[in-house]
Amino acid sequence: MSTPTEVEELPETTEKEPSGSSIAFTATLVLLVGLALFGRRLFNAWFTDDGIRTWATMFVGVTVQALPFLVLGVLLSAALTAFVPASFFAKALPKHPALAVPVASASGVVLPGCECASVPVSAALMNRGVTPAAAIAFLLSAPAINPVVLASTAVAFPGQPKVVVARAVTSLAVSMILGWLWLLTGKGGSWLKMPKNRHAHDDGKFEVFRSAMLHDFLHAGGFLVVGAAAAATLNVVVPRAWLDHVAGNLLLSVLILGLLAVLLAICSEADAFVAASLTQFSLTARLAFMVVGPIVDVKLIALQTGTFGPKFAVRFAPATFVVALLASLLVGWWLL
Partner 1 sequence: MKRNVAGLVIVFVGAAMVQLATSGTYLRYVKPGMRWMLLAAGIVLVALAVTDVLVKSRQDHGHGLPRAAWLLLVPIFALLVVDPPALGADAAQRQSPVAAKPAKPVEPQGNAYWGDESHGPRPITVRDYSVWAVWEKDTMQGRSFQLTGFVTPAKNGVWYVTRIGLTCCVADGTAFMVEARGQAAPPKNQWITVTGKWAEPTKRADGDVAALTVDTVKPVAAPANPYE
Residues numbered 53 to 82 that lie near partner 1 (CB under 8 A) are: 53-54, 56-65, 67-69, 71-72, 75
Q: Which of 332, 123, 334, 157 is nearest to 149 (CA)?
A: 157
Interface with partner 1 includes 24 (CB under 8 A)? yes
Q: How far is the CB of 79 from partner 1 (least distance, A)?
A: 12
Q: Which of 159, 184, 188, 190 binds partner 1 (CB under 8 A)?
A: 159
Whether the CB-CB separation of 308 and 195 falls below 8 Å is answered with yes
Candidates 118-126, 167-175, 275-283, 323-331 — which segment interacts with partner 1 by CB under 8 A? Answer: 275-283
CA distance 127 to 123: 6
Interface with partner 1 includes 205 (CB under 8 A)? no
Interface with partner 1 includes 201 (CB under 8 A)? yes
Interface with partner 1 includes 147 (CB under 8 A)? no
CA distance 32 to 219: 20
Q: How far is the CB of 278 from partner 1 (least distance, A)?
A: 7
Q: How far is the CB of 187 from partner 1 (least distance, A)?
A: 28
Q: How far is the CB of 201 from partner 1 (least distance, A)?
A: 8
Q: Which of 278, 319, 326, 336 binds partner 1 (CB under 8 A)?
A: 278
What region, left, alpha or beta, does residue 159 occupy, with left being phi > 0 and alpha being psi -120 to 50 degrees?
A: left
Q: How far is the CB of 291 from partner 1 (least distance, A)?
A: 17
CA distance 105 to 195: 20
